[in-house]
Amino acid sequence: MRELFWRRFARRRAAVLSLAFFVVIGAACALAPVLAPFPFDGIDLDSVKQPPSLSHWMGTDDLGRDVFTRMLFGGRVSILIGLLAAVVGTFLGTAIGAAAGYHGGVIDNVLMRITDVAYAIPTLPLLIILSAYSRAALVSMVLIIGLLSWMTTARVVRSQVLSIKEMDYVEAARGMGATDLRILVRHIVPNALGPILVGATLGVGNAIMIESSLSFLGLGVQPPTPTWGNMLMDSQATMVTKPWLTLFPGLAILFVVLAVNFIGDALRDALDPSASSR
Amino acid sequence: MSGAPLVEVEDLSLHFPVRQGLVRRQTGTVKAVDGVSFDIASGETLGLVGESGCGKSSTGRAVLRLARPTAGRVRFAGEDLGRLSPASLRSARRHMQMVFQSPFASLNPRLSVGASIREPLDVHALGAAGERDARVAELLSLVGLDPGAARRHPHEFSGGQRQRIGIARALATNPRFVVADEPISALDVSIRAQIVNLMRDLKDRLGLTYLFIAHDLAMVRHMSDRVAVMYLGRIVELASCDELFDRPLHPYTRALLSAVPSPDPDVEEGRIRIVLQGDVPSPADPPSGCRFRTRCPIATARCAQEDPPLRDRGSPGLPHQVACHFS
C-alpha cells in the first residue's frame, strides 16, 4: 500500500518538485539563525534601500536591514503559523466531523448546522475584528486562523465516517465491547486519514495566505518580528521605486502556497482508493 | 446438548423504518425479524438457514445486541441483555462474540493482525499487558496460523487465512457463545470445509456454543445439532438436524432440501426438484396470513387468512416445531 502510494505520488512531477521546494524553503527558514548573514533587526543606517548586491542578496529595506535575512526569519513565522493553524483546524474539524458522523441524529444535525453557520460568516472581516481585539502574538494568530478553518475538514470527515462506521470491522469492535471513543480513534479516524491529510495540506497554504493578509493589514504579527505579510505591507509605499522589497516576500508567498496546493492535490489523487493504480 | 439454555430468544423482532421525501416521513416498516423465538443449550450448535434477505443475519445481530431489537427479549446465561446498562453490556460482550461473513471487511486494514486479535484483550483488560502478545501467538496457532503472522497486515493474507484471523479474534476473550454469520459463504469452495472443520474442532476443544448462520444446507447439516429454517423474518421450522433433513414438514423446507444435489447417483436420479415460483415478497409488505403462501405449492384460502403459529408436531422426546396448517 505504501509503495503504491509513493509510486502514484511520484508520477506527479509538479508535486515532487513542490515537495522538494517546500522542504528546502522550510529547512532554510528553520535554520535562519544559523544561515542568515545578518541579525533580522540589525539596523544599518549607512546602507538603506540598497538594491540586491553581493553583500545583500535581496537588497536592504529603509532601515538598512538585510532583506534576505528578514525573508528567512519571516518565513519561519509564516510557515510555522501555517503549519500550526492547519493542525488546529484539522484537529477541530476531525473531532467535530467524526462526532457528527458517528453519532448521527440530533448531534449530527446540531454540529452540521453550526458548521454551516461558521461557513457562512465571511472570514476576513471576522478575522480583522478578532485580531484587533487580541494581542497579535503567534499563539493567538494560530488559534484564530485555526478556529476559522475547520469547516471543510469537518464536512469531509463526517461523510467519510458515515461510510466507514458501517464496515464490519467497526461492528466487530462494537461486538467485542469497545467504547465509542476507542472505535473512533482506533478504527474510524485512521481509515479516514487520507482525506484528512489532504485537507490539512491545503489548510497550510490557506493559513499562510490568511496570515499574510492580516499582516498586510497591519493586524498580524507585529514588527520588528518579520513575516512575509508584514514585509509586504512595509513595502507598499515603495513598490514602484524599490521593487525588490515587494517582489521577494510576494514571490515567496506565491510559490510556497502554490507548492503546498500541488502537494495536496497529488496527495488526494495518490490516496484515493477508488482511483485505479494505472 | 446439555444443561439449561445458554441463550434464550423470545419473540425477537427487528424492524427498520422506511423513510421517504424531504421531511423523511416514515412510509413503511421493513420487518427484517418478526417474532422469532428459540433456545440454544450450552455446548449446542443451532444452524439458522434461509434465503438471502430472510433475516438470518439480522437475527444474529439482534441476538448479540449489535442492533437494538424492536421487541422481544434475549437472555444470555439467564440475564436479560436488554436490561443491562451500556457499560455492563460492554463487559458482557466478553462472553459472546461474532465471526463475520466477509473476511475482507471484518479486519481493519490499518491494524496489524496481532493488534486486531489483541484488541479484545485490551478492551477487557485481560491478562497483564506483557502477556497479551503471548496469548495472541497462542490464538494464532490455535486457528492454524504461524504466530509470526501477528506482525503482518490483513492484505497480506488470503480469504481463508483472514477468516482464521477473524475466528482467533472472536475467541481471544474465551467466549462461551459465538455467532457465526455465514462464515464461509465469502470463501472459495475449496477452503470452506477447512474453516467449518476448524470451527467444529474449536467447539469441541473449547466447549463453545454456536449460532451458525448459513445458506449452504450441506454445511449446516455438517455443523449443527439443531436447525432453524427462516422465511421472511419468521422461523418456519425448527428441529434436530437429522429429524429436519430426514422428515421435513414445512413445504418451504422441502423445497430447500430438494435443491440440494446428492453425491449418490441413485438418489440423485430419484430427486424431485421442487421449484418455487416467483420471488421472495418484500419484507416491507409481507403477505397476509402465512407468509409463504404466495409461493407455496399447497396453499389454500385458509393460508391467506390465518397465520400459522409455530407448533410442535414431533413425537415425544423428539420435538419438531413447524409453522404450517397442513403438516
Q: Judge: A171–B98 Cβ closer than 8 Å, yes or no.
A: yes
Assess contact for B173 and B6: CB atoms under 8 A.
Answer: no
Strand partners, B273: none
Confidence of residue B3 (pLDDT cuts 50, 70, 90): low
Task: Output phi, psi for B86, to 5 deg.
Answer: -50, -40
- CA A223, CA A220: separation in Å to the nearest integer? 9
Interface TM-score (ipTM) > 0.90? no
CA-nearest of A53, A37, A63, A78 to A244 is: A53
How many domains does chain A divide into?
1
- Which residues lie closer than 8 Å to A201 by C-beta, 6 or more apart? A86, A260, A263, A264, A267
Comparing alpha-carbon positions, the chain B residue that sits nearest to A169 is B106
Query: Does B150 have pLDDT greater than 80?
Result: yes
Query: Does A127 have pLDDT greater than 90?
Result: no
- Chain A nearest-CA distance from B85, in A, is 12
Q: B138-147: per-residue pLDDT in tens?
A: 999 999 999 9
Assign residue A175 the CATH number of its domain: 1.10.3720.10
Query: Does A276 have pLDDT greater than 50?
Result: no
- Which residues lie closer than 8 Å to A76 by C-beta, 6 or more apart? A29, A30, A32
pLDDT confidence of residue B318:
84
Q: Which domain holds residue A38?
A: 2-277
- CA A170, CA A179: separation in Å to the nearest integer? 11
- Is any Cβ of chain B less than 8 angstroms from the Cβ of A176? yes
Task: Output phi, psi for A41, to 5 deg.
Answer: -110, 25
- Is any Cβ of chain B less than 8 angstroms from the Cβ of A159? no
- Is any Cβ of chain B less than 8 angstroms from the Cβ of A172? yes
3-state DSSP of chain A: CHHHHHHHHHCCHHHHHHHHHHHHHHHHHHCHHHHCCCCCCCCCHHHCCCCCCCCCCCCECCCCCEHHHHHHHHHHHHHHHHHHHHHHHHHHHHHHHHHHHHHCHHHHHHHHHHHHHHHHCCHHHHHHHHHHHCCCCHHHHHHHHHHCCCHHHHHHHHHHHHHHCCCHHHHHHHHCCCCHHHHHHHHHHHHCHHHHHHHHHHHHHHHHHHHHHHHHCCCCCCCCCCCHHHHHHHCHHHCCCCHHHHHHHHHHHHHHHHHHHHHHHHHHHHHCCCCCCC
Q: Give the mean pLDDT of A248-263.
A: 89
Q: A135-176: per-residue pLDDT in tens?
A: 767 888 888 889 888 999 999 999 999 999 989 999 999 999
Confidence of residue A272 (pLDDT cuts 50, 70, 90): low
At residue B74, the 3 state secondary structure works out as strand
Q: A203-226: per-residue pLDDT in tens?
A: 888 888 888 888 878 777 777 788
Q: Give the mean pLDDT of B14-25.
A: 82
- Is any Cβ of chain A less than 8 angstroms from the Cβ of B173? yes
- Is any Cβ of chain A less than 8 angstroms from the Cβ of B60? no
Q: Judge: A176–B110 Cβ closer than 8 Å, yes or no.
A: no
pLDDT confidence of residue B93:
93
- CA A201, CA B16: separation in Å to the nearest integer? 41
CB atoms within 10 A of CB A219: 22
Cα distances from A8 to residues A223, A265, A268, A275, in angstroms, run 43, 12, 10, 10
- Which three cell numbers, joined as nine digits, stand for B73? 427479549
- Is any Cβ of chain B less than 8 angstroms from the Cβ of A242? no
pLDDT confidence of residue A277:
40
Cβ-Cβ pairs closer than 8 A, A with B, add up to: 68
- Which residues lie closer than 8 Å to B192 by C-beta, 6 or more apart? B184, B216, B219
- Is any Cβ of chain A less than 8 angstroms from the Cβ of B57? no
CA angle B30, B252, B217 (to 5 degrees): 95
Residue with cell 509605499: A237
Q: Compute and round to an integer the Cα radius of gyration of chain B.
A: 21
Cα distances from A220 to residues A63, A211, A230, B292, B316, in angstroms, run 21, 7, 7, 74, 89
Q: Give the mean pLDDT of A37-54.
A: 75
At residue B30, the 3 state secondary structure works out as strand
pLDDT confidence of residue B2:
47
Strand partners, B181: B213
Task: Output phi, psi for B314, to 5 deg.
Answer: -85, 180
- Which residues lie closer than 8 Å to B85 by C-beta, 6 or more apart? none
Q: Give the mean pLDDT of B104-132.
A: 90
pLDDT confidence of residue A275:
47
Query: Does B305 have pLDDT greater than 70?
Result: yes
Task: Output phi, psi for A211, to 5 deg.
Answer: -60, -40
Interface of B with A in 68-127 (CB under 8 A): 89-94, 97-98, 100-102, 105-111, 116, 119-120, 123-124
Residues found in chain B: 327
- Is any Cβ of chain B less than 8 angstroms from the Cβ of A168? yes
Query: Does A45 have pLDDT greater than 80?
Result: no
Chain B residues touching A186 at Cβ < 8 A: 108, 111, 119
Q: What percent of chain A has pLDDT over 90?
A: 27
Interface of A with B in 181-240 (CB under 8 A): 182, 186-187, 190-191, 193
Assess contact for B108 and A187: CB atoms under 8 A.
Answer: yes
- Which three cell numbers, joined as nine digits, stand for B209? 456454543
Name the more confident of A233 and B114: B114
Q: Give the mean pLDDT of A190-203.
A: 87
Q: What is the pTM of this model?
A: 0.81
Assess contact for A48 and A64: CB atoms under 8 A.
Answer: yes
Interface of A with B in 1-30 (CB under 8 A): 1
Comparing alpha-carbon positions, the chain A residue that sits nearest to B181 is A168
Q: Judge: A178–B66 Cβ closer than 8 Å, yes or no.
A: no
Chain B residues touching A171 at Cβ < 8 A: 61, 66, 98, 100, 106
Q: Judge: A190–B101 Cβ closer than 8 Å, yes or no.
A: no
Interface residue of B119, B157, B181 to substitute, partner A, most A CBs within 10 Å: B119
Chain A residues touching B94 at Cβ < 8 A: 176-177
Q: Judge: B102–A187 Cβ closer than 8 Å, yes or no.
A: no
